[in-house]
Structure 1
Amino acid sequence: MTKTPTTACARPSKKSPHPHRNAAGSVQDIQFYRANEKPYGPFSNLFRRPVSFEGLVYPTSEHAYQAGKARKPAVRDWILSAPTPALAAMAAHGLYVWDVAPDWAQTKFDRMRRVLRAKFDQHEDLRQLLLSTGEARLVEVGTVNNAVNRLWGEVDGKGENMLGVMLMELRAAYVKEAAVATAKPARAGSKARTKAKTKSARTVVAA
């Protein structure tokens, strides 16, 4: 969402045996905001990577998200004509109430989750960056205290941090899916070995 630039990203502690834990073993926060910051700028929806979503290709995840706010295709196209993701967000925030999809308040979080899934599914390097954060708490940090910043991130440690929460949910989903994928061949191999042993035992008995 469109917010004022904030502090630099938190860096992993070099003194800690875990890349995102401090010396006491507590999980550290990874803060992000500016899309051009390294290494965690890609977590911002303003980061420039195309996202294929619902049959359209958007220049950024911000464009893909904000397009869902429009009631009519003409309004959506007007939002998407914005040359930058920040301007697309500004255009969407400024819509008259009658130009906003009537169920937007109920559907916006689901849309954001699906947009994020598409973004990280389609870009391996971004997915690996997300997974590299381990168990760290991801926080979008703003400096201007307003409702948008407090909803999608935090200001002075206060806010719902919904973007950070959704990224952590997505990270957990990737970890779970990888574990399931790894377990399937192991189970298949175990079944094959059991079947072979059973067949061998039957052969011995028959002999």
Structure 2
Amino acid sequence: MAIYFYSTREEYGCFSNFSAHGFELDGVYWPTSEHYFQAQKFVGTPHVEQIRQVKTPKDAATMGRDRTRPLRPDWNDVKDDIMRQAVLRKFETHADIREVLVSTGDEPIVENSPIDYYWGCGADGSGKNMLGQVLMETREILRDRT
């Protein structure tokens, strides 16, 4: 049976990039994996720090999607690996949610986003579910370490 998540208030809310599980990466502290992911779109510019410092992951997402900011030219080539890095560090940092992720066994994990057909499954389930894929890869890495 697949495990669906979307809202941080649900049972598997810790799988969301909006969950309040901060971590250190690239020598600085990130409040959420959403902050880190969105900021990486603008590496080498002041936008990185602006996004890192905003109060909520929703604000970070809004800023990251703002196309008046200069999106790095290689973004489509690097975004999956950046997400992998952020998600792995988040679960490495927090033992409680690491346990939740590993406890899902071999169940498929699906970001039940009605609007995102890349990171989520989309409204009709036809999306790529890349965040779910990244979480399942992370689960394997963490399980192999124990």
Superposed CA RMSD in Å reads 1.3
Which residue in 1 is equivalent to 2:144? 176
> Is 2:124 aligned against 1:160?
no
Which residue in 2 is equivalent to 1:84? 56
Alignment deviations for residues 41-62 of structure 1 (CA, whole Å, 9 cap, x no partner): 0000000111111101011111
Structure 1 gap segments, 5+ residues each: 1-27, 179-207
Which residue in 2 is equivalent to 1:37? 10
> Is 2:66 aligned against 1:94?
yes
Which residue in 1 is equivalent to 2:82? 111
Alignment deviations for residues 120-152 of structure 1 (CA, whole Å, 9 cap, x no partner): 0010011100011011100001223xxxx0000
- The answer as to whether partners of 1:51 and 1:64 remain within 8 angstroms in 2 is no
When the two structures are aligned, how many residues end up with a matched partner? 145
Query: Which of 102, 118, 143 in structure 2 is aligned with 1:151?
Result: 118
Name segments (4+ residues, structure 1) moved above 6 Å.
Answer: none
Residue 71 of structure 1: how far off its partner (Å)? 4.2
Identity over the aligned pairs, expressed in percent?
37
In structure 2, distance between residues paired with 1:79 and 1:105? 19
In structure 2, distance between residues paired with 1:56 and 1:176? 27
Letter paired with 1:77: E
In structure 1, distance between residues paired with 2:43 and 2:36? 14
> Is 2:17 aligned against 1:74?
no
In structure 1, distance between residues paired with 2:106 and 2:135? 12
Residue 101 of structure 1: how far off its partner (Å)? 1.5
In structure 2, distance between residues paired with 1:71 and 1:45? 19
Moved more, 79-88 or 165-174: 79-88
Higher relative contact order (CA 8 A, sep 6+): 2
Structure 2 gap segments, 5+ residues each: none
